[in-house]
C-alpha cells in the first residue's frame, strides 16, 4: 500500500503532489532526468518490464507468457500509484519494445507522459538499451537534452541486440564509454571509442539544451586530428588523469578543456555545460593558473596555485578563459577531493550552484557555527557574488541543481527550513534564487529572511533515494527523482510544481 505523500508548500505557491511514475516489485529504477516540459523522462532500471500486448487484467495489459492474475509489474495507474493521464481512458502503460527478460542489467527507458509525434501514445515506455550484463551501472547517468531530442549516458557495455540501431558501437574491452541516442529516429552513436582505465575512462556526461555539445570527464588521451585544446594546441593527456572533454556533435570533433597532471581519476571531474552551450563548470584538485587562455578569480586577481583540494571552476568556452569560483584551504572539512562539488550552471553561465564543506572560508562572517557540514552555495557571476543558500549546524544539504533558467535551485536536505521538515527527514527543497535565496537552521546563524521562497517535496517520513541523482527542467517546474520510502524498492517519481 502506497503511503499518501504529504507536501508542504508556502501559501503563495500552488499545492503540488509528487507522482509515482514506475511501479515495480523489485530491483531499482533510478537516475531520472526530465526535459523542459516534463513530457519525457529517461531513467535506468534493472527491473522486469512487462508490457507487450496480452490478456487484460483490469486496465492493465499482461505480457503474453503470464496466465495468472499477477499484477502488471511496470504500470503507472493499475496498482495504486495515483497516476492518471488526463484525457486517456483507460490509460495503458504501453511498451512496444520492452525486453521481457530485463533484470540482469541496468538499461535505459524513456517514459512519455503525453502523446508524442511518432505514434507514441501518452503514458508509454520505450526501451533504449538492451544490454544483458553490467549490473545497475551497466548504463548509467542518463541526461536528456531540454528539447527532448537527445539522450547521453555512460556505459561499460557493448551496445548491441535487437532494437539497437548503432553504426559505430564497439566496446569489446568493456571500459566506460559515452553514448548518444537520438530520440527522433531511435539511432545510437558511440561518442568515445577508447581502451582501458575501466569505469573511470569516460564518465559523467552532460548535454546542452539542443544536444549540440556533450561534456564529460575522461582519463583517456584524445590526441589526434579530431581534438584541439581551447588555446588551439593539440590534445594531450599522456599522464591519464581525468580531464574535462567536450564533444561538438555536428562537427564530430573534441575539445580538451583542461590540461593538468596528477591525481588520477579525481583530477577534474563532474563537468556540466550551460543550457545554451557557451559555458562549462567542473570541480578540480589541479592547478589551473595556466589554463586555457587565462584564469582569474571573481575579483579579477590571478587564480591560486592549487593546494590540491577540490575547487569549482567556470569556463567561458567562447573566449577560453577560466574563473576560479572557490579558493579554499586544503584543511579540516575542506580538505580532499570533494569539499566543493557537484556544480550545476544556469543559462549563459550566470549562476552556479554547488555543495560545499568550506563555509568557514567561503563565507566566514555569515556561516553561523561554521562547522563544515555540506551546505548549498550559489555563485552569481554577473555580480561576482557568492551566496550561502543554506546555513545549518549539522546534517546535510546536498546535490544542489540550479534549473537552467536560473530561478530555482533544487537540493536534498535533512534540515528543517521554514518548519517544513521538523522531523529532519530527507526531503527535496526548491528555493527561489532570484529572491533572497537563503534558508537558516542554525541558532548562531542570521535570522531567516521572510522573502525567501521555498517549496519542499516531503514524502511521509522522508524519502529514500538511491543515487543522490535527480533531474530538473529549465523552468524549475518539473523535478524527477527516485524514492523507495513507502513503495518498497526504488521507483521513479516526479513533481509538477504547478499541480
Long-range contacts of 315-320 (CB under 8 A, 24+ apart): 315/230, 315/257, 315/279, 315/280, 315/281, 315/282, 316/278, 316/279, 316/349, 317/230, 317/246, 317/255, 317/257, 317/277, 317/278, 317/279, 317/280, 318/278, 319/293, 320/230, 320/231, 320/292, 320/293, 320/294
Of 239, 276, 287, 496, the one binding Ca ion by CB under 5 A:
239
Least distance to Ca ion, CB of residue 472, Å: 24
Identity of the residue, 213 or 242, whose beta carbon is nearer to Ca ion in the bound complex: 242
Least distance to Ca ion, CB of residue 154, Å: 12
Q: Residue 354: which residues within 8 A CB-CB, separation 6 or more?
A: 283, 312, 325, 326, 340, 341, 342, 343, 344, 376, 377, 379, 400
Q: Which of residues 74-133 bind Ca ion (CB under 5 A)?
A: none
Rule CB under 5 A: say whether 309 interacts with Ca ion. yes
* Residue range at the interface with Ca ion (CB under 5 A); choices 158-166, 239-247, 248-256, 317-325: 239-247
Identity of the residue, 173 or 287, whose beta carbon is nearer to Ca ion in the bound complex: 173
Of 48, 159, 175, 285, the one binding Ca ion by CB under 5 A:
175
Phi-psi region of 455 (alpha: psi -120 to 50; beta: other; left: phi over 0): beta
Number of residues that bind Ca ion (CB under 5 A): 10
* Residue range at the interface with Ca ion (CB under 5 A); choices 72-80, 148-156, 207-215, 301-309: 301-309
Least distance to Ca ion, CB of residue 367, Å: 6
Least distance to Ca ion, CB of residue 375, Å: 5
* Residue range at the interface with Ca ion (CB under 5 A); choices 84-92, 173-181, 226-234, 316-324: 173-181
Least distance to Ca ion, CB of residue 371, Å: 5
Q: Which of residues 428-447 bind Ca ion (CB under 5 A)?
A: none
How many Å apart are CA 176 and CA 182, to the nearest integer? Answer: 20
Question: Which one-letter DSSP state was computed for residue 361?
Answer: H
Least distance to Ca ion, CB of residue 337, Å: 11
How many Å apart are CA 218 and CA 244, to the nearest integer? Answer: 6
CB atoms within 10 A of CB 361: 18
How many Å apart are CA 274 and CA 127, to the nearest integer? Answer: 28
- Residue 18 CA to chain centroid, in angstroms? 18
* Residue range at the interface with Ca ion (CB under 5 A); choices 1-9, 41-49, 205-213, 233-241: 233-241
Least distance to Ca ion, CB of residue 15, Å: 31
Identity of the residue, 171 or 456, whose beta carbon is nearer to Ca ion in the bound complex: 171
End-to-end CA distance of the chain: 23
Of 139, 237, 388, 474, the one binding Ca ion by CB under 5 A:
237
Rule CB under 5 A: say whether 397 interacts with Ca ion. no
Rule CB under 5 A: say whether 45 interacts with Ca ion. no
Q: Which residue has the cell 590540461?
A: 259
Of 155, 171, 340, 480, the one binding Ca ion by CB under 5 A:
171
Binding mask 371-390 for Ca ion (x = CB under 5 A): --x-----------------
* Helix H or strand E segment including 27: none
Dihedral sign computed on CA atoms, order 193, 35, 185, 105 = positive
* Residue range at the interface with Ca ion (CB under 5 A); choices 58-66, 131-139, 366-374, 412-420: 366-374
- For 127, phi then psi, to 5°, come to -85, 135
Identity of the residue, 73 or 237, whose beta carbon is nearer to Ca ion in the bound complex: 237
Q: Which residues bind Ca ion (CB under 5 A)?
A: 171, 173, 175, 237, 239, 241, 307, 309, 328, 373
Amino acid at each position: 500500500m502506497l503511503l499518501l505523500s504529504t507536501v508542504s508548500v508556502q501559501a503563495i505557491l500552488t499545492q503540488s503532489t509528487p507522482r509515482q511514475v514506475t511501479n515495480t516489485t523489485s530491483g531499482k529504477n533510478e537516475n531520472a532526468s526530465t526535459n523542459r516540459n516534463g513530457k519525457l523522462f529517461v531513467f535506468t532500471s534493472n527491473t522486469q518490464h512487462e508490457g507487450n500486448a496480452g490478456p487484460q487484467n483490469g486496465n492493465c495489459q499482461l505480457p503474453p507468457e503470464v496466465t495468472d492474475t499477477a499484477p502488471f509489474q511496470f504500470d503507472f495507474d493499475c496498482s495504486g500509484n495515483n497516476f492518471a493521464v488526463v484525457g486517456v481512458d483507460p490509460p495503458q502503460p504501453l511498451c512496444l519494445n520492452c525486453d521481457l527478460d530485463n533484470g540482469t542489467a541496468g538499461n535505459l527507458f524513456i517514459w512519455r507522459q503525453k502523446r508524442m509525434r511518432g505514434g507514441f501514445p501518452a503514458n508509454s515506455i520505450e526501451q533504449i538499451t538492451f544490454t544483458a550484463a553490467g549490473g545497475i551501472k551497466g548504463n548509467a547517468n542518463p541526461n536528456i537534452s531540454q528539447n527532448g531530442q537527445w539522450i547521453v549516458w555512460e556505459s561499460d557495455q557493448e551496445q548491441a541486440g535487437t532494437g539497437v540501431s548503432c553504426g559505430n558501437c564497439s566496446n569489446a574491452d568493456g571500459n566506460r564509454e559515452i553514448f548518444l541516442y537520438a530520440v527522433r529516429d531511435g539511432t545510437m552513436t558511440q561518442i568515445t571509442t577508447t581502451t582501458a582505465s575501466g569505469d573511470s575512462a569516460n564518465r559523467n556526461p552532460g548535454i546542452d539544451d539542443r544536444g549540440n555539445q556533450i561534456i564529460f570527464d575522461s582519463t583517456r588521451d584524445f590526441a589526434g586530428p579530431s581534438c584541439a585544446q581551447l588555446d588551439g594546441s593539440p590534445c594531450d593527456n599522456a599522464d591519464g588523469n581525468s580531464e574535462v572533454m567536450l564533444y561538438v556533435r555536428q562537427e564530430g570533433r573534441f575539445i580538451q578543456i583542461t590540461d593538468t597532471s596528477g591525481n588520477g581519476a579525481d583530477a577534474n571531474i563532474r563537468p556540466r555545460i550551460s543550457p545554451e552551450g557557451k559555458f562549462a563548470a567542473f570541480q578540480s584538485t589541479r592547478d589551473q593558473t595556466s589554463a586555457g587562455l587565462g584564469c582569474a578569480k571573481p575579483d579579477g586577481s590571478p587564480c591560486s596555485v592549487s593546494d590540491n583540494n577540490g575547487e569549482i571552476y567556470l569556463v567561458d568556452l567562447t573566449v577560453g578563459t577560466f574563473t576560479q569560483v572557490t579558493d579554499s584551504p586544503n584543511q579540516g572539512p575542506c580538505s580532499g577531493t570533494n569539499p566543493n562539488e557537484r556544480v550545476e550552471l544556469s543559462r549563459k553561465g550566470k549562476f552556479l550552484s554547488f555543495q560545499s564543506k568550506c563555509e568557514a572560508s567561503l563565507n566566514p562572517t555569515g556561516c553561523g557555527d561554521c562547522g563544515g557540514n555540506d551546505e548549498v552555495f550559489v555563485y552569481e557571476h554577473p555580480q561576482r557574488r557568492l551566496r550561502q543558500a543554506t546555513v545549518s549546524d549539522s546534517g546535510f544539504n546536498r546535490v544542489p541543481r540550479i534549473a537552467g533558467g536560473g530561478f530555482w535551485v533544487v537540493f536534498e536536505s535533512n534540515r528543517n527550513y521554514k518548519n517544513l521538515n521538523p522531523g529532519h527527514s530527507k526531503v527535496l527543497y526548491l528555493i527561489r534564487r532570484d529572491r533572497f535565496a537563503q534558508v537558516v537552521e542554525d541558532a548562531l546563524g542570521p535570522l531567516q529572511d521572510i522573502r525567501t521562497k521555498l517549496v519542499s517535496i516531503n514524502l511521509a517520513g522522508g524519502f529514500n533515494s538511491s543515487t543522490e541523482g535527480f533531474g530538473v527542467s529549465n523552468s524549475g517546474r518539473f523535478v524527477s527523482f527516485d524514492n523507495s520510502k513507502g513503495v518498497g524498492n526504488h521507483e521513479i517519481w516526479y513533481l509538477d510544481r504547478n499541480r
